[in-house]
A and B are shown apart, each in its own frame.
Chain A
C-alpha cells in the first residue's frame, strides 16, 4: 500500500504547529559545518510533504541515524519532536526526534521549494483516509498526550524529547490544519508577539526566540575572577520547569548587576533571550547539555502567581548503599536520618585560608550509613541546627541535593557550593524514612561505608606508626614532611639546656619569640625586632627520648608540647634551676615526668645541617592516651590481622 505524506505539513510546521507529527519524505541530506570533531557535525535535510519542500536541521543527537543509514535520501520519516523558529526572517525547522517509517521510497509527488507566499492549493484532509492502520502504524497512544501549558501566555507545550525518545513508537494522527489567518501573506514582519513558552528540555542553540517558565532551585554567590581578559564577576542559578527539565543560567559582569537582586530561590520566572552554550560539566551537574548565558537584552520576569505545577526542587535520591560503588566526585542526592553530629572544627586549606568542617553520620533503609562532611557556611547554619536536634535526641531527616562523593577513606559525601540541605523536609521520601526510623530503624545496626581504613579512635588524618617504622620506612625523606602519630613513653629528658630566652615583643598579633641575647645590664636584644627589652620570655626547646615496644628515638618539643610534657611553664623550671639553684627539686620534677605514655603527633622532615642529612622529628601535639579509643583501635587492628 502506498504511503501518503501528511498533506500541507510544511505549511503547518512553518505556521508554528508542533503537534502534527507529520509523515514527510527526505529528499536530500547534506553534511554542513563539518568540523574536526565528529560530534559537531550537523546535517541538513530537505524534507517534503509531496507538494512543498523545506530545509530542516537535524539535532546532533540524531546524527547517528544518518551515519548508520537509518535515514537516507528517499526515506519517509515521521517527525516527532521539532521546532520551527524564525531566524533572521527565515523559518528554520530543527528536528529533535523522528522515526524512519519507510527506509527508501521513490520521490512522492512533485514537491517544489517552499516559498513564503503560499499559493499551492491545499490537498483536502480526506487524503489521510488512505493511511490505514497496519502493523507498522500505531494510532495515537494514550501515553502520548498533548497538553497545553498553563502558562498565562497560553503557549503550546511540546513533548519532552529526552524522556520520550526511548519509548516512542511511530504514530499517525489526524493532521492539523492551520487556520487561514496563520498563512503568510505579504512581506515578512518581525514577530512582536511574546515568544512561546517551551519546555527547558526543548531548548537548543538553533532557536531564535524562546521563553521558559521555571522556578529557581538554587542561586550561587557572586564570584570574582581574574583571567587573561582582566577582572570579572559571575554568578549562576539553576532552574526547574513543570516538565522536570533543569538548566543552569550564568551571568557575567554587568548582567550580574542587572539580575542578581531579581533572582530569588523558590520563585518562578519567565525568562527569554539569552544564548545557549554547552554546559561546563565540571561545574554544572544538571541533567542538561546546555546552559544559558544571559545578555543585557535578556528578560527575566517574576511570575507573581504561584504555579503549583512546577516542583520546588527535584531530587533523584540514591540509597546510601549505592554510594559505595559510586565513583569519586560523583554528584548525587541522598536522604537519611542524622544519627550523630560532630563539632565544627577549623581546617586550614591548602591555599592557607581557614575554613570549617563538620562531620555527621547519616543512615537510611539500605542498612548502610555514610559520613557527610559539611564545609564552610554549612557548618554553622545547618550544622548547628542539626547538632541541636541530635543533642535533644530528635534525629532529624536530612535531604542533600547535589552532594559530592569522596573516596578519601572509605566513601563519604561532602558539600559543594551548589549543595542544598533540607532539614526535616516535607517530602514523601522523608516521611517514609521517618516512619522506618521510628519503627525499628533507629535500633538496626547500619554498617558505615566511610572510614574503611580508619578503625576506631583517632582522627581522620591520623597515620599511626611505631617508632621503628619511622626509620624503616624512611619517613621525612620526601619533599613534604610526614605527619604521624606514635604511642610512646618518655624515657629521658635532656636537662642541661631545656629552654631559650625569647623575645617578648609583639609583631602584629603574634609574639616574636626569636632568641634574644643579653646586653649589658639585664637588657635583652632581639635581632629580628632590633629592639631591647627589660624582660625576656623563657620558652621550651626540649630534647626528649621516646620509646615504644619497637625502639627509641630522639624528638624535639617546643613551647606548647614542651609544657605539656614537663607539666609546668619553662620559666618556672628555669628559675628553680638557675635562680633558686634548687637542683634537688628540679631533678624530682623531671624524674616525675618520665615513663608516662602519650599519643605524640610528630612532624618528620629530613634537614641538612652543614652538609649532613638529619631526620628531624618535632612533637607538634601531646595527648594523654585515651584508653577507650585506644582499645578500640587495638581491637580493630587485631580483628583485621586475624
Chain B
C-alpha cells in the first residue's frame, strides 16, 4: 500500500445519530466501531452510506495489542471480516491494552514505553497484521498516568513501532492535547518524532476539565486548543483524512455540522 487515499473530513458513525450522519453535508467518510457491527447484518444506515460511495472504516477498541496476554484472534478475525464487509481500505485500533490477568479494564490503558513493552506490542501487531486482509493503523491514546521507567518518548515509541511493523498511524490530536494537559507531554515534539508519511488519518474530539484532570470525553464540544494541535499537524503534513469523534451527549445537527466545518477550515487553510 503506497499511501492512504484522500479521505477528506468524516465523522464517527454511531447508531444514535445515524440519520444525522446521513443528512449532514460534507461527510466524506465515516468510521464505525467494529465491535458494534455484525458481519452479514450491517445497519441499514451503514449500507446506505456505502451505496452512496462513502468510505466506511472499521475502528476497533478491544484487540489489546499492547497487552501481555495472547492476542485474541477471534477479535482480529471479526475486525477483518467487518473490513471486508464494508470494503474498507484499512482498519485501526489503539496502542494500548484493555485486558490483563483475565480482567477487562473498560478503558484504553497506556502501555509502558519500555523496549520490553515495545517488543510485546510489535509481536502482537505483526500477528494481527498477518490475520487482517487490509493494513492496520494504530492510534495514540489519552493517558491519565505515565508508567515509571519509560525509555522512549511517545513519539519515539510510535516511530519505532512503525519502523518494525510497517503499520500506519492514526493520530488523535485530542489525545495529544489531553496528554499535554494531564501529564505534560509536548504535542509538537510528538509530531516531530513520528513518521508523518505513515499518517493514515486524524481523530478530533471534545472533552472537559474536571478538577485537575482534562477528560477526553467525546461528549463535549471540540476545544479551540484541540483545533490548534490539528493546525500544527496540518502545517507539517496534509492528513489524508480528519474525523470527528462523538460518542455521547450528541448535540444538534447544526452543532455537529459546525464542528465539521471548523475542522474542514483548518485542513483547507493549509491545503490552500
Pair from one complex = no
